[in-house]
Amino acid sequence: MAEAVVLKAEDICKSFGSLEVLKGITLEARNHDVISILGSSGSGKSTFLRCLNMLDPPTSGKVSVHGEEIVVKNGHPADMRQVERARQRLGMVFQQFNLWTHRTAIENVMEGPIHVLKQPKAEVKERAEALLVRVGLAERMNMYPS
């Protein structure tokens, strides 16, 4: 039996003014799939990923996460709660990922679970401490990145 479709992108197009960056990209990802997106610099890989999680909504096309289509109207997501639900199920690592310099190591680790997943701060802090211990950074948990 085939795994369920967890992410579906249909005919995704993205333009910035007259510049067409994405021209009809379609992708279907099933549970447990591992997918690589390859291309030369400037070919639209990051733009496509930003369209999938609505950091930059597509100019046209459809994105569905676990069967729920994310509605875009006038270039913006129609319902940010819907986008939040989708982002809870999608992960993305940016090309230039950086820590927030005004937050401690533990605050950086806690950011996503608190603000994206809406998990209780006390539980998140306990888990963050355990993770920092696990990777050998316990003594730096209250230090700033710089």
Over residues 30-81, the pLDDT tens digits come to: 988 888 899 999 999 999 999 999 999 999 999 999 999 999 998 888 998 8
Can you give the pLDDT at residue 100?
86
Give the residue carrying structure tokens 């730096």: 140
Instruction: Identify the H or E element spanning 35.
Output: none
Which residue pairs from 80-88 have beta carbons closer than 8 angstroms and sit at least 24 positions apart in sequence?
Answer: 83/53, 83/54, 84/116, 86/53, 86/54, 87/53, 87/54, 87/116, 88/116, 88/117
Asked if 73 and 11 touch (Cβ cutoff 8 Å), the reply is: no
**Could you tell me if 39 and 47 are in contact, meaning their C-beta atoms sit under 8 angstroms apart?**
no
Indicate the pTM of the whole model.
0.69
State the span(s) of the chain assigned CATH 3.40.50.300. Answer: 5-87
Mean pLDDT of the chain: 91
Q: Which CATH class is domain 5-87?
A: alpha beta
